[in-house]
Amino acid sequence: MRDEMPLAGLRVVELGQLLAGPFCGQLLGDFGAQVIKVEDPRTGDPMRQWGRERPYGRSLWWPVVARNKQSVTADLRTEEGQRLVARLIGEADVLIENFRPGTLERWGLSPEVLREANPRLIITRVSGYGQTGPYAKRAGYGSIGEAMGGIRYITGDPDRAPSRTGISLGDALAATFACIGTLVALHHRERTGQGQVVDSAIYEAVLALMESLIPEYQVAGYQRERTGTTLPNVAPSNVYPTADDEMVLLAANQDTVFRRLADAMGRPELATDERYATHGARGKYMEELDGLIAEWTSTMKADDLLELMNDKGVPAGRIYRAKDMLTDPHFAAREAIVRLVHPEIGEFAMHNVVPKLSDTPGKVRHVGPELGEHNEVIYRDLLGLADDELVSLRSAGVI
């Protein structure tokens, strides 16, 4: 295994804030890219303040989304700040930004201007609606993209208003697709020497996950609805109760797997019953079948049920919370959670890099930096600014 990380030597300037742009930067940084995050010198990225819990007065989200990054400050609302950042981008391979379309152009940092100075530059732009179209300049948060992309409508119970997942799903999806687009653009640049613009819209990233939702309506006239813990015509695949009040998810909707479940239940005849023998039949009689399975699982403790399901080859598992992840032997064996040291909080656990590469794996090298922590090393060592220039910029509030 080589010591050098796969994206070592790739320099990324991150101008985005909050989540969609920064998560793309996090993904690139996880595999060794130098990610230089530019922040407002007064407040920094709002993510420094966000999060439900704030022990020590610190966000627990910031150390995760800003991991492996360097922080410099620059006031992009000033001409001096714009010129400084333009110089920084001139030394970069990739620029990531997630401002409302038109913002970079207003600051004199349009793709045309930046690529004229640096033709190899890849400009990755993440926004709610994309860089073109009638909605482009609207404010577009992740939640709005989730609604427009279709996932909100089908999430939740049928007798309630559409629900949401407890994470920023739309932002993360747009960032992930932005990362894919960036890597594709880098591969193209290797062949042609030319950079390009990557345009990742939140609503389109959500739409990309919607399976056959569009043709189901366009061809068959079928509108997907909210179905709670199940999927229409897919059974059995649900959360079932146990004797010790745990929740266990069983997924035995394939014919061969259902036969194994029926055998484990001591009810092998269910696998040949015309109501349950085929995938289509089980979907039709889903509610009845779920009732039979729930009645059986209710007689067993969760550990015993899971052991039996594993022995029989039936996919099953608990619904995990953070405390379950931190103590699970499989998480530990695969190092799915990494523990670092935060300079003020101490031990700091977070999810590790995904996916795993056999020869050039990614690595979480450090938690998110302090505001402007790397001003000296970037502005002096990379851009060649003299000490008196740095003092002048700092006195003027530019950095």
**CA of residue 1 relative to chain centroid, distance:** 27
Which one of 171, 244, 263, 388 is the catalytic residue? 171
Residue 120 φ then ψ, to 5°: -85, 0
The Cα-based distances of 347 to 26, 69, 337, 342, 367 in angstroms read 20, 19, 12, 6, 11
Tell me how far apart the alpha carbons of residues 36 and 16 are, in angstroms, rounded to a whole number: 11
Question: What 3-state class would DSSP assign to 346?
Answer: strand
Tell me how far apart the alpha carbons of residues 181 and 176 are, in angstroms, rounded to a whole number: 9
Written as six digits, the tokens of 287 are 């509610």
Tell me how far apart the alpha carbons of residues 237 and 157 are, in angstroms, rounded to a whole number: 16
171 in catalytic set: yes
Question: What 3-state class would DSSP assign to 92?
Answer: coil
Written as six digits, the tokens of 339 are 């523990």
Judged on CB neighbours under 10 Å (0-12, 13-18, 19+), 311 is exposed
Tell me how far apart the alpha carbons of residues 91 and 94 are, in angstroms, rounded to a whole number: 9
Q: Tell me, what amino acid is at 9?
A: G
CB 104 within 8 A of CB 137: no
Residue with tokens 């690139």: 28
Written as six digits, the tokens of 161 are 């208003």
Q: What is the 3-state secondary structure (H, E, C) of 301-337?
A: CHHHHHHHHHHHCCCEEECCCHHHHHHCHHHHHCCCE
- Please compute Rg for the chain using Cα positions: 25
- Helix, strand, coil content of the chain in percent (nearest 5): 40, 15, 45
- Residues known to be catalytic: 171
